[in-house]
């Protein structure tokens, strides 16, 4: 491996988070009954005419801007022609000749702490194909996915290791997620990753035969597939053999890449301009408005959480690990409560509940307002941290408000003077000798002893600050 320089380029297909498809009004959804989210345009009916999804173009612009790309405001589409069952029209609408974005970059942090800019060649809009399901000797086709809007993002061959590749894909995923462009769930195919990899001797200017690894569906698989392929190609070259130009896939069971097909000449897709969509000149003011209203990225939030809120980097990264968790935190903080207190509950109690069920916070009944109410009740002395441990799981699992949970489960701290005195006077009477003998020299020990006995008698359901003022009042009377 040390004998060769690794050359990697990455192509990512990103499903856009639009409500309808890129060139048809058919709905976009995941997990629906096969072939129910389709229309005549998706199925290539004669005379069915495509139209461009404005929201899809907006998402492409947001991605271009975040990736520092040159934007082509003259929107033009082409046809990629090929016959295959997953493309019933016989062509795919794409942007071969005039991508909406080109010459961009994304910065990553290397293992040594230095930064590196990954150059991005292009970003173009296109439509997805149908999903193929293979069962035994049969192949089933689900056209629900056919026509869903995609952006394809292609790097230049400037990535030099599996680590850099994973960092790039992870950073790209984070940017697209926080832009709201896509849910970028690799496991569901809304972010797909193809890696092109070749080796060459250090100092050599040309490129070796490249191998494409298709449809890597997790960051872990990106890393493992690249590492295996580097080792495989290195061994072939050192044994005097030729690395064939081919397409491979990563077999998770065998933990190795498997040959799919050998590439010879590039396929001639006979691209030509899409005749049914005229060029569209994007309005300068609309493009500016889209970019000016771009959502705050995780990178910007990370700085704000650390510098303004005083959170640790580890806590910040957990809050930013899912858009649902980030939104939950942001909404709670908007009610002017201490961000550190909100973060603390999320990172301890709530994290434990989420991990137990392996779900995101939006799939629970817990609301940002619940955390705000808990903090306010706690600060006012109406509940204790012990009560919080009981309240949170109930709020998490039911639609009950914090106030309802407190009343129904009698979780309110005792703050009435007469009620506290009812418990406290017998305790003080029992400890008169202790007070007279030790209070003058060891007041904290005496106060702690009496408070401990009071907490035991009340099962911890007493306001400690108010109780301590009453303890001091009774001790002065005894002295």
Query: Same structural domain for residues 242 and 305?
Result: no
Write out pLDDT tens, residues 135-187.
999 999 999 999 999 999 999 999 999 999 999 999 999 999 999 999 999 98
One domain, residues 122 and 32:
yes
Same domain, 268 and 349: no
Range of the domain at 437: 417-478
Coil, helix or strand at residue 460: coil
pLDDT, averaged in runs of 10, over the chain (479 residues): 86 97 94 93 93 98 98 97 90 97 97 95 96 90 95 97 97 96 91 96 86 94 96 93 93 93 77 96 97 95 96 96 95 96 96 93 96 93 87 95 92 76 83 80 84 81 78 77
Tell me the two tokens of residue 298.
């995780």
Token reading at 451: 């408070």
Residue 69 tokens read as 């790309």
Distance CA 478, CA 428 (A): 9
Q: pLDDT digits over 206-246, tens only? A: 888 999 999 999 999 999 999 999 999 999 999 999 999 99
Long-range contacts of range 321-329, CB-CB < 8 Å, 24 or more positions apart?
A: 322/360, 322/361, 323/177, 323/178, 324/360, 324/361, 324/362, 325/360, 325/361, 326/178, 326/298, 326/301, 327/362, 328/361, 328/362, 328/366, 328/368, 329/368
Q: Are residues 272 and 339 in the same domain?
A: no
Output the CA–CA distances (angstroms, integers) from residue 72 to 14, 54, 274, 461, in the order listed: 19, 15, 17, 66
> Number of folded domains in the chain?
3
Q: Find the CATH number of the domain harbouring 426.
A: 1.10.10
DSSP 254: T
Instruction: Report helix, strand or coil for 282.
Output: coil
Please report the pLDDT score of residue 265 as a whole number.
62
Q: What is the DSSP string of 106-133?
A: EEEE-TTS-EEEEEEEEEEEEE--PEEE
Q: What SS3 class is residue 104?
A: strand
CA-based radius of gyration for the chain: 31
173/231 same-domain check? yes
Q: Identify whether 290 is part of a domain.
A: no
- Are 425 and 447 in a shared domain? yes
Shared domain for 105 and 207, answered yes or no, is: yes
Are residues 201 and 323 located together in one domain of the fold?
no
Shared domain for 397 and 449, answered yes or no, is no
β-strand partners of 281: 74
Residue 182 lies in a domain: yes
- Give the DSSP letter of residue 350: I
- Of 225, 250, 281, the residue at which a domain comes to its end is 281
Nearest to 23, CA basis, from 41, 40, 38: 41
CB contact set of 168 (below 8 Å; sequence gap of 6+): 10, 106, 108, 118, 155, 159
CA separation, residue 226 to residues 171, 252, 257 (Å): 18, 13, 9
Could you tell me if residue 291 is inside a domain?
Answer: no
Q: What distance in Å separates the CA atoms of residue 301 and residue 326, rounded to the nearest whole number?
A: 9
**Domain match, 247 and 327 both:** no
How far apart are alpha carbons 401 and 366 in whole angstroms? 9
Structural domain includes residue 91: yes
Buried/exposed code over 254-268 (b: 16+ C-beta within 10 A; e: otherwise): eeebeeeeeeeeeee
Q: Where are the beta strands (DSSP E) in 100-255?
A: 101-109, 115-127, 131-135, 138-142, 149-155, 191-201, 211-216, 246-251
Question: Would strands 246-251 and 211-216 be described as parallel, antiparallel, or unpaired?
Answer: parallel
Let me know if residue 155 belongs to a domain: yes
Residues 89 and 114 both lie in one domain: yes
In this prediction, residue 2 carries a pLDDT of 65
Residue ending a domain, choose from 281, 308, 326: 281
In a domain, 26, yes or no: yes
**Residue 286 falls inside a structural domain:** no
């Amino acid at each position: 491996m040390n004998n060769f320089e690794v050359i990697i380029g990455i192509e990512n297909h990103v499903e856009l988070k639009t409500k309808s498809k890129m060139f048809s009004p058919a709905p976009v959804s995941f997990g629906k009954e096969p072939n129910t989210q389709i229309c005549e345009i998706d199925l290539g009916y004669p005379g069915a005419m495509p139209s461009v999804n404005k929201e899809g173009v907006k998402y492409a612009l947001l991605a271009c801007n975040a990736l520092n790309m040159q934007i082509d405001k003259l929107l033009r589409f082409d046809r990629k022609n090929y016959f295959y069952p997953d493309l019933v029209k016989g062509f795919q609408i794409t942007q071969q000749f005039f991508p909406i974005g080109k010459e961009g970059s994304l910065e990553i942090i290397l293992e040594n702490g230095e930064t590196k800019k990954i150059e991005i060649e292009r970003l173009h809009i296109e439509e997805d194909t149908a999903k193929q399901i293979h069962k035994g000797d049969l192949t089933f086709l689900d056209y629900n996915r056919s026509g869903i809007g995609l952006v394809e993002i292609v790097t230049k061959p400037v990535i030099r290791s599996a680590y850099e590749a994973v960092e790039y894909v992870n950073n790209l995923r984070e940017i697209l997620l926080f832009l709201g462009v896509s849910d970028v769930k690799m496991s569901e195919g809304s972010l797909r990753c193809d890696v092109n990899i070749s080796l060459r001797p250090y100092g050599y200017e040309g490129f070796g035969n490249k191998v494409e690894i298709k449809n890597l569906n997790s960051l872990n698989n990106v890393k493992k597939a690249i590492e295996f392929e580097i080792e495989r190609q290195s061994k072939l070259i050192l044994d005097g053999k030729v690395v064939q130009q081919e397409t491979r896939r990563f077999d998770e069971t065998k933990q190795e890449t498997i040959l799919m097909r050998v590439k010879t000449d590039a396929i001639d897709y006979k691209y030509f301009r899409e005749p049914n969509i005229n060029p569209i000149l994007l309005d300068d003011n609309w493009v500016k408005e889209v970019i000016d209203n771009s959502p705050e990225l995780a990178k910007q939030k990370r700085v704000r959480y650390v510098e303004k809120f005083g959170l640790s980097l580890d806590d910040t990264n957990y809050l930013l690990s899912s858009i649902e968790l980030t939104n939950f935190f942001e909404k709670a903080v908007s009610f002017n409560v201490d961000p550190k207190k909100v973060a603390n509950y999320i990172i301890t109690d709530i994290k434990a509940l989420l991990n137990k069920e392996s779900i995101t916070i939006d799939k629970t009944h817990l609301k940002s307002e619940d955390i705000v109410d808990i903090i306010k009740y706690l600060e006012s002395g109406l509940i204790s941290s012990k009560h919080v441990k009981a309240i949170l799981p109930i709020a998490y699992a039911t639609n009950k408000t914090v106030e309802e949970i407190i009343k129904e489960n009698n979780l309110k701290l005792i703050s009435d003077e007469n009620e506290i005195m009812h418990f406290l006077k017998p305790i003080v009477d029992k400890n008169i000798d202790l007070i007279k003998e030790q209070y003058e020299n060891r007041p904290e020990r005496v106060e702690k002893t009496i408070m401990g006995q009071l907490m035991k008698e009340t099962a911890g359901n007493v306001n400690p600050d108010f109780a301590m003022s009453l303890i001091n009042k009774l001790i002065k009377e005894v002295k």
